[in-house]
Chain A
């Protein structure tokens, strides 16, 4: 199973500068473990205390995974995954 994962600029230090890498897994959680095996350190930037980090967005085929099961979201061969850091901030 091959799933393309788009990596944002700020996380490309973990992928040797690559903008997209291939990983596999039947769920988002398994996919992230597969990413971690090839690119150590990446998992910690996506997951905190067993949950998706609040200010990281992950999309499967353009759907925000928060609406389709978060880490349990299912994946199939050929799916496209995009990781984007939230653009957020403010005075508080």
Chain B
């Protein structure tokens, strides 16, 4: 199961809507071993495409160095599909390189840049095998956040 707080969930959805019809991509990283998606990092889709995404190689190195320095790891790796459902494509499966991460897919096919619900689904992708998992969106109150 992926547990993610409401504000991070909403920020991913907002990113996907903003970049539509280009695929949006990014990560939510967290302290190593905690499985807690804490820090959202929107990445530039270097492919700039409605059907493909790829992090710029320099951005990628910088991101991994930063995680190293902060003892973080990728917890969520997200991207949007802008004309199809939020299910991993063959490309997504073949290129999934982080066996420990939750792969989140968001589909903006229905409402594009406009308001309205989006499909938000999460998967494990390990050795070419896709397993969908439950997404639990948690409302964190200001009091809890500061504790």
Residues in A lying within 8 Å of B, measured CB to CB: 8-10, 55, 57, 59, 62, 64, 66, 82, 84-92
Contact = CB atoms under 8 A, between A and B. Distances in A.
Interface string B53-87: 11101101100100000000000010101111000
A10 B57 contact: no
A85 B97 contact: yes
Given A55-B95, A64-B58, A90 B52 contact: yes
Given A9-B99, A9-B100, A10-B97, A89 B61 contact: no
A92 B89 contact: yes
B28 to A, nearest CB: 13
Contacts of B54: 86-88
Contacts of A59: 57, 61
Contacts of B43: 87
Interface of B: 23, 25, 27, 43, 47, 49-55, 57-58, 60-61, 64, 77, 79, 81-84, 88-89, 91-92, 95-100
Given A90-B49, A91-B83, A82 B95 contact: no
A68 to B, nearest CB: 12
A64 B54 CA distance: 15
Nearest to B83: A91
Contacts of A57: 57, 60-61
Given A91-B23, A92-B49, 15 more contacts: A9-B99, A64-B58, A82-B61, A84-B64, A88-B53, A88-B54, A89-B53, A89-B88, A89-B96, A90-B49, A90-B89, A90-B91, A90-B92, A91-B84, A92-B91
